[in-house]
Amino acid sequence: RPEYAFIGRSNVGKSSLINMLVSQPGLAKTSQRPGKTQLINHFLINESWYIVDLPGYGYARVSKTSREKWEKFIRNYLTKRENLQCVFVLIDSRLEPQQIDLEFCCWLGECGIPFALVYTKADKQSGPKTDQNVAKFNKALKQWFEELPSFFITSSEKKQGKEMVLGFIDEVNQDFVMPTFD
Q: Which residues contact ligand GDP (rule: CB under 6 A)?
A: 10-16, 30-32, 34, 37, 56, 120-121, 123-124, 155-157
d(CA 75, CA 67): 12
d(CA 141, CA 161): 22
Nearer to ligand GDP, 81 or 162 (CB): 162
d(CA 71, CA 67): 6
Dmax over CA atoms of the chain, in Å, equals 53
Minimum separation from the CB atom of position 157 to ligand GDP (A): 3
d(CA 3, CA 173): 9
Minimum separation from the CB atom of position 175 to ligand GDP (A): 29
Nearer to ligand GDP, 30 or 173 (CB): 30
Q: Give exposure, 35-67, as e/b (b: 16+ Cβ within 10 Å).
A: eebeeebebebeeebbbbbbbbbbbeeeeeeee
Nearer to ligand GDP, 91 or 141 (CB): 91
Minimum separation from the CB atom of position 20 to ligand GDP (A): 8
Residue 137: is it exposed, middle or buried by C-beta count within 10 angstroms (0-12/13-18/19+)? buried
Minimum separation from the CB atom of position 38 to ligand GDP (A): 11
Nearer to ligand GDP, 130 or 155 (CB): 155
d(CA 72, CA 83): 20
Minimum separation from the CB atom of position 50 to ligand GDP (A): 18
Minimum separation from the CB atom of position 29 to ligand GDP (A): 8
Residue 27: is it exposed, middle or buried by C-beta count within 10 angstroms (0-12/13-18/19+)? middle
Nearer to ligand GDP, 62 or 83 (CB): 62
Nearer to ligand GDP, 28 or 84 (CB): 28
